[in-house]
Amino acid sequence: MIRFECDYAEGAAPQLLERLTRTNLEQTPGYAVDGHCQRARDLIRAACAAPQAEVEVLVGGTQANQTVISAALRPYQGALCAQTGHINVHETGAIEATGHKVLPLPSQDGKITPKQVEQFCAVHWADPTREHIVQPGMVYLSQPTETGLLYTRTELEGFRAVCDRYGMYLYIDGARCGYGLAAPENDVDLTDLARLTDVFYIGGTKVGALFGEAVVISSPALQRDFRYCIKRHGGMLAKGRLLGLQFEALFEDGLYLQLGRHGVEQALRIREACLRRGLPLHFDSRTNQQFPVLTRAQRERLEEKYAFTFWEQLDDDRAVVRFCASWATDPAAVDALTADLLSLP
């Protein structure tokens, strides 16, 4: 079985494993205050051109989202997001479990707009009974989105302006950040993310690390007590150096972008094969996830050799599926898949 159902099917990039092995018997302080974690912080600050940013490392994306959102919001506030946002549909109520409501906005393609946020906030603050309603305190975006799309720099500047106008935090979930940075049409880099958000995270789990997400905090208000929040949510790894070592390796010599670029290049080969075969693409993704529409017969034929993800049923016969490439996708596997896509009935 050749697997295309996710971007975390493999272990870790060899450079990370080599470093973990080489430093295995080093003795270091715990809880991510060791020299490797400090160097990883410095490398990430330099990549973001944000020397004053706080950088903390956590194990996974849901843990990062729960920790960041609960740290940022007052008890009566919630987080605005697209209805397809990870915190709304794929975290088992983790945000609600902290006492904060997720406030989903309608979206056809996985993106929302600054205008939608503006309208939501304007209605809330114009309501004379607003104290009976959850207050919007944050805008949560994914970059890339769950549907493989990207926000532009202009769009992020629009969100920043709306958040400033209504006193909200802007938070970006960067679980697939490396694939977004490597996308050919992307115009947002790490310096933009650090400049325009209050907090975002750089995903490692899906981009070459065994596990780990690096949370980059620009907001001084969030920086002060964030490590307390990490500990309270069970996210302060005693052997924190295991996270720091990985991000130290990822941010040396451009490895993070190199890994992201490989995943995007393989996914775009799948996209091209779908277009050549005449398969509709449900989302116009130029990142590492592709979403063709297949008939039942086509799905069953491909399922004999490949693992991929069911996404959405369109009618009795047609469904949207997802093929996901990664930092480790074998080009030979993509050769096989593209040949089989082109030969579909």
Q: Which DSSP string do the residues of 292-303 spell out, in sequence order?
A: BEE-HHHHHHHT
**If you average pLDDT over residues 254-268, what whole number do you get?**
98
Kindly report, as residue ranges, where domains of CATH 3.40.640.10 are found in the chain. Answer: 14-254
Quote the crossing angle between the two packed helices 241-250 and 255-277, to the nearest 10°.
70
CATH 3.90.1150.10 placement within the chain = 2-7+256-342
Express each pLDDT in 202-257 by its tens digit.
999 999 999 999 999 999 999 999 999 999 999 999 999 999 999 999 999 999 99
Do strands 54-58 and 213-217 pair parallel, antiparallel, or not at all (unpaired)? antiparallel
Grade residue 172 by pLDDT with cuts at 50, 70 and 90: very high
The answer as to CATH 1.20.1250.20 being correct for domain 14-254 is no
**What is the band of 319 on the pLDDT scale with cuts at 50, 70, 90?**
very high
Which pTM does this prediction carry? 0.97
Instruction: List C-alpha distances in Å: 141 to 82, 92, 220.
Output: 8, 18, 20
Contacts of 187 (CB under 8 A, 6+ apart): 152, 153
For all residues of the chain together, what is the average pLDDT?
98
CATH H superfamily, domain 2-7+256-342: Aspartate Aminotransferase, domain 1 (3.90.1150.10)
pLDDT at 310: 97
On whether the CB atoms of residues 200 and 216 are closer than 8 A, the answer is: yes
- Residue 172's closest CA among 8, 325, 192? 192
pLDDT, tens only, 294-303: 999 999 999 9
- Average pLDDT of span 8-33: 97
Q: How confident is the model at residue 17 (pLDDT cuts 50, 70, 90)?
A: very high
Q: Which of 179, 109, 203, 175 is nearest to 325 (CA)?
A: 179
**H helix intervals, the chain:** 14-22, 35-48, 61-72, 86-89, 94-97, 114-126, 153-166, 177-182, 190-196, 220-223, 226-232, 241-250, 255-277, 296-302, 331-342
* Three-state SS at 142: strand
Rounded Cα distance, 201 and 107, in Å:
23
Q: Per-residue pLDDT averaged across 118-147, rounded? A: 98
